[in-house]
Every structure is written in structure tokens, then in C-alpha cells.
């Protein structure tokens, strides 16, 4: 008999975690470098390095101004991309839906409703102000979805969650659309937020959501030990001593906190939470906590790469990261759906 220990969906425990993590870090390092060194305004590499090492006083004023914009948006993309990538992985694993993303839990629609309330009712205009309301909206929507799902007993837990998410998302989108259509000023301001962008924001918005991001990360780390057992099925996980309900709620709460914080900070970002986990599964055959970690790395890399492409693709101006990810994400979504239908895709574990 062989000595290989089998893990869910044919993945083997002997596959190491080191190589995929190194690959993920290498891809992320490349994306960070591109984000700092490339842009619509060319900056010499030596000037970028001088800025990064604290010698900005010797740089031309225009060059320093460009780098003053690139560094904060790189930090924003790094943190929010990692949060969305990790949230997407956890969402797919806990719902057992290979095409799930954090929007499934009503996070995006909840954040949008919170921002609309801040813009249209309270007349707030600063990103630092309406970011807080976006986060509150995301948390309330996520909590409402989990509460509704627990009360739906007609189907299994994963299907109940999808159904509850669809109900809450539809209701909140209707509320947001009604408020926006009734107020042109709110529409103009909300349109800027809803496309998802790293420009026009600084790292101050991260401080508004940092406690919730940190809490979401801690919950995700705590929940990681249950992922492999839950992938075997709820009954098997319970027989192994796991508290399935508690593990599910902890993981999904981490999704709400991570994705809600990122969405509130930079706006609605489509497809990233869907694509990053699938890419992670294609470069690693390690245990599920490693897949989740690689998803975070690739999520950050995708966010920064899309932002860099958005700066370079137009001769004048730039495309927001949300638009770039939507353009490249739609074909990816179709390919994933087709491969899963033919049985070639890796199901979430």
C-alpha cells in the first residue's frame, strides 16, 4: 500500500505549500514593481528608487507629485486586492459554489446602499466619510443574509445561502437605484464610487476600515483549520469533531468583513474574488489554507496589474481598475463556467 494521504478532490497532502506560496509572492512582487514604476507619466527607475528610499527632496516637483499618487494607490490595491482574493476563496469553499464571489453574501449591494445613504441623505462628500457608511451597509447586509439563510429550511445550507443572498441583493439594489435616480447630484457622486477605483483615494480610507480588515483576517486564519474537514462534507466534519455551524458562520463572517471593508474603501470590484481562487487552485495542490493564502496573494497581484493596465491603455486619462477587471473578467467567467460544465474545472474544496 502507498503512503500517500488523500485530501479532498484528489489533492495530495504530500504536495508542498512552499512552491505555490513562492510563486504567489513572485507574481505579487512583479505587480507591485509594475505599479510603482509604470504609469501614464514616465518616471525614471532611479527617481522611483530615490523616492522610495526617502530622497524625494532631490526630485523634480512634478515627479514627486506623480509618485505621491502611485505609492498610496499601490498600498490600497495591495491591501484591498488581498482582502477580496481571500474573501473569494473562503466564499467558494464555504458555499461549495465554484462561481461564487463575496457579492453572493450581499456585501457589494450592502456597501452600495450605505454609500448612497451617506451621499443622498446625509450629503457627505468625502471618501473618508462615506467609506464608513459603506462598511456599515456591507456588514448589515451580510448579517441579514446569514440570518435569512439560517431560517430557510427547504434546501441544504449552501443553497439557502445563495437564495438569501439573491433576495437581499435584489432588495438593496432596488433601494439604491431609487435614491440615485431621484437625485442627480447623488448619482454623479455614486457613479464615481460604484465603478471601483484606486485613484482619487489615499491611504486614509484604509484607516477607517483597518480594524474590520484585521478582524476579518484573524477570523479567516482561525477558520483555516476547519477548511479541509468541511470540504469532506458536513457529516464527516462533525464526526471529526468540528462544530460545523460555528465554522461556517466564522468563515462567512470573515468574508463579510474582508470584502465589505475593501468594497467600502475602493468601490465595487467585480470578478476579482471569483478569479483569484481559481487561479490559486491551478498553481497549488496543497491543503485548503494554502489555497486561501495564495488566493490573497494573487488577488492583490490582479488588482495592481489591472490598475497598471488602466493607466497605460489610454493615451490621455486612464481606465479605473473596476472597468479593467470587468472587461477581462467576463471572458474568464465564461471560460470557468464552460470548463466546470465539462468537468475540467477544479471544484471549490
Greatest alpha-carbon pair distance for the chain in Å reads: 71
pTM score, two decimals?
Answer: 0.86
Query: At the topology level of CATH, where does 98-268 sit?
Result: ABC transporter involved in vitamin B12 uptake, BtuC (1.10.3470)
Most confident of 31-35, 150-154, 309-313, 327-331: 31-35
Q: Where in the chain is the domain with CATH 1.10.3470.10?
A: 98-268
Instruction: Report DSSP letters for 230-278, one per residue.
Output: HHT-HHHHHHTT--HHHHHHHHHHHHHHHHHHHHHHH----SHHHHHHH
pLDDT digits (tens, 9 = 90+) for 155-211: 666 777 888 888 899 999 898 888 888 888 888 778 778 878 888 777 888 888 899
Mean pLDDT of the chain: 83
Question: What per-residue confidence (pLDDT) applies to 61?
Answer: 77
Mean pLDDT score, 41-46: 85
Listed in sequence order, the residues at least 6 apart from 289 whose beta carbon sits closer than 8 Å to its beta carbon are 224, 225, 227, 228
pLDDT digits (tens, 9 = 90+) for 98-108: 778 888 888 88
Residue owning grid cell 513572485:
26
pLDDT digits (tens, 9 = 90+) for 196-231: 888 877 788 888 889 999 999 999 999 998 888 888
Question: What per-residue confidence (pLDDT) applies to 251?
Answer: 92
Judged against a pLDDT cut of 70, whether residue 245 lies above it is answered with yes
Give, in degrees to the nearest 5, the angle at Cα 165 between 80 and 346: 65
Nearest to 299 by CA among 79, 60, 67: 79
Amino acid at each position: 500500500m502507498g503512503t500517500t494521504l488523500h485530501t479532498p478532490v484528489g489533492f495530495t497532502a504530500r504536495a508542498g505549500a512552499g512552491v505555490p506560496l513562492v510563486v504567489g509572492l513572485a507574481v505579487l512582487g512583479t505587480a507591485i514593481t509594475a505599479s510603482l514604476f509604470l504609469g501614464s507619466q514616465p518616471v525614471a527607475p532611479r527617481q522611483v528608487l530615490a523616492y522610495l528610499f526617502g530622497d524625494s527632496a532631490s526630485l523634480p516637483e512634478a515627479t514627486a507629485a506623480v509618485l505621491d499618487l502611485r505609492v498610496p494607490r499601490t498600498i490600497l490595491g495591495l491591501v484591498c486586492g488581498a482582502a477580496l482574493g481571500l474573501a473569494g476563496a473562503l466564499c467558494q469553499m464555504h458555499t461549495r459554489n465554484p462561481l461564487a464571489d463575496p457579492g453572493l453574501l450581499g456585501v457589494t449591494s450592502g456597501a452600495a446602499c450605505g454609500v448612497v445613504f451617506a451621499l443622498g441623505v446625509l450629503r457627505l462628500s468625502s471618501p473618508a466619510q462615506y467609506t464608513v457608511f459603506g462598511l456599515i451597509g456591507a456588514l448589515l447586509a451580510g448579517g441579514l443574509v446569514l440570518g435569512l439563510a439560517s431560517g430557510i429550511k427547504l434546501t441544504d445550507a449552501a443553497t439557502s445561502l445563495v437564495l438569501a443572498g439573491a433576495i437581499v441583493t435584489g432588495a438593496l439594489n432596488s433601494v439604491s437605484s431609487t435614491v440615485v435616480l431621484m437625485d442627480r447630484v447623488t448619482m454623479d457622486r455614486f457613479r464615481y464610487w460604484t465603478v471601483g477605483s484606486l485613484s482619487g483615494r489615499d491611504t486614509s480610507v484604509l484607516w477607517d476600515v483597518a480594524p474590520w480588515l484585521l478582524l476579518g483576517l484573524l477570523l479567516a486564519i482561525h477558520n483555516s483549520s476547519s477548511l479541509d474537514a468541511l470540504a469532506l462534507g458536513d457529516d464527516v466534519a462533525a464526526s471529526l469533531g468540528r462544530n460545523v455551524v460555528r465554522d461556517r458562520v466564522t468563515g462567512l463572517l470573515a468574508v463579510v468583513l474582508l470584502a465589505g471593508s475593501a468594497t467600502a474603501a475602493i468601490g465595487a470590484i467585480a470578478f476579482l474574488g471569483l478569479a483569484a481562487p481559481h487561479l490559486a487552485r491551478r498553481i497549488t495542490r496543497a491543503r485548503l489554507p494554502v489555497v486561501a493564502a495564495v488566493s490573497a496573494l494573487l488577488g492583490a497581484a490582479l488588482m495592481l496589474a489591472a490598475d497598471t493596465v488602466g493607466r497605460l491603455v489610454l493615451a490621455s486619462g486612464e481606465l479605473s481598475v473596476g472597468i479593467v477587471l470587468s472587461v477581462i473578467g467576463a471572458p474568464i467567467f465564461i471560460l470557468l463556467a464552460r470548463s466546470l460544465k465539462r468537468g475540467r474545472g477544479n471544484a471549490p474544496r
